[in-house]
Amino acid sequence: MQAAYILWLRQVKKYYRSKSRVIGSLGQPLLFLLAFGFGFGSIYQKAENGNYLEFLAPGIILMSVLFTALFSGIEIIWDKQFGFLKETLVAPVPRINIMLGRTLGGATVATIQGAIVFLLAMLFGFRPQNISMVFIAFVFVFLAALLFTSVGTIIASKMDDMQGFQLIMNFLVMPTFFLSGALFPLSGLPPIMKTFIQFNPLTYAVDGVRGTLTNVFAFSPLTDFAVLAVVTCILLLLGSYFFEKIQA
């Protein structure tokens, strides 16, 4: 367990030391909050849907979590390239501990990032309905963080370089974000899109966070939690399987 801890600590240390990374990764959510939140806000209100910022903020929090978590997982590729990965692969520690430490570290960092975006949204006028529910919301945030860090780990275990990076960005990250109900309500969508959205785990994270913060659920808190928990477990298992197979 000590090994898992030191790997967790490394991820967290590297995160808070790279100020440029923290600030840089806030640019996008900020832009989305401003451009979408205020840009579409009036149209959304005219359609009598209520306050768009309130609807949007949970989606943007999870956007930030999705990006940070996935890239924390993919960081394994950097460690492969710069050779540091070998240091952990020859250590007398079961690989699963190494993978767990890394994944928990990545998930922690993504959760912190989500918390910063949450505060940012508060700054723009977002108010949770019930402040005591924020903790529950962050359980969903953490589960999503864990889930997508595992996805990153799986991808990185199979990839040797960053050549496929654009591919992942365009065919995995962006569709996952856009087809999750983060930006628009699920009602009234064409059935094919709806099917996609229902198979996207991010949808349940968005719903869980939005539901707990604003009292509007598309599914139910239990469904959201169950789907996220099960998918996270499966991906963690897959992640440790692929990480086990890495040969340098």
Partner 1 sequence: MDNIIVVKDLVKKFKEVTAVNGISFEVPRGEVFAFLGPNGAGKSTTIKMLTTILDKTSGHITLNGFDPEKNREDVRKSFGIVFQDHSLDDDLTAYENMEFHAALYNVTTANNVRQHRIEEMMKFVELWDRKDSMVKTFSGGMKRRLEIARGLLHHPKILFLDEPTLGLDPQTRNHVWEYLKEINKNENMTIFFTTHYMEEAEKIADKISVIDHGDIIATGTAEDLKKQTSTETLEDAFLALTGKNIRENEATGLDGLRSDSKMWRRH
Burial category of 4 from C-beta neighbours within 10 Å (exposed 0-12, middle 13-18, buried 19 and up): buried
Sequence length of the chain is 248
Binders of partner 1 among residues 139 to 158 (CB under 8 A) are: none
Distance between CA atoms of residues 122 and 108, nearest Å: 21
**Residue where the block lists tokens 């009036």:** 42
Burial category of 124 from C-beta neighbours within 10 Å (exposed 0-12, middle 13-18, buried 19 and up): middle
Q: Is 6 a residue that touches partner 1 (CB under 8 A)?
A: yes
Whether residue 64 contacts residue 113, with contact meaning beta carbons closer than 8 Å, is answered with: yes
Q: Is 166 a residue that touches partner 1 (CB under 8 A)?
A: no
The residue among 1 and 192 lying less far from partner 1, judged by its C-beta, is 1
Least separation, in Å, of the C-beta of 145 and partner 1?
21
Least separation, in Å, of the C-beta of 79 and partner 1?
8
The residue among 84 and 171 lying less far from partner 1, judged by its C-beta, is 84
Q: Is 167 a residue that touches partner 1 (CB under 8 A)?
A: no
Q: Is 27 a residue that touches partner 1 (CB under 8 A)?
A: no
Task: Give 40's DSSP letter.
Answer: T
Q: Is 20 a residue that touches partner 1 (CB under 8 A)?
A: yes
Least separation, in Å, of the C-beta of 21 and partner 1?
7
Distance between CA atoms of residues 207 and 132, nearest Å: 18
Only one of the segments 40-48, 61-69, 81-89, 207-215 lies at the binding site for partner 1 (rule: CB under 8 A); that segment is 81-89
Task: Tell me the DSSP string of 101-142.
Answer: HHHHHHHHHHHHHHHHHHHHHHHTT---S-GGGHHHHHHHHH
Q: Nearest CA to 110 among 2, 215, 29? A: 29
Q: In this structure, what is the dihedral angle of CA atoms 69, 74, 75, 77, given to the nearest 10 degrees?
A: 180
Only one of the segments 29-37, 76-84, 114-122, 146-154 lies at the binding site for partner 1 (rule: CB under 8 A); that segment is 76-84
Only one of the segments 50-58, 114-122, 160-168, 233-241 lies at the binding site for partner 1 (rule: CB under 8 A); that segment is 160-168
Q: Is 161 a residue that touches partner 1 (CB under 8 A)?
A: yes
Question: Which of 43, 119, 162, 237 touches partner 1 by CB under 8 A?
Answer: 162
Helices (H), 47-94: 52-81, 84-89
Least separation, in Å, of the C-beta of 39 and partner 1?
31
Binding track over 90-109 against partner 1, x by CB under 8 A: xxxxx---------------
Least separation, in Å, of the C-beta of 245 and partner 1?
10
Q: Is 187 a residue that touches partner 1 (CB under 8 A)?
A: no
Contact residues for partner 1, defined by CB under 8 A: 2-3, 5-6, 10, 13-14, 17-18, 20-21, 78, 80-84, 86-94, 160-163, 247-248
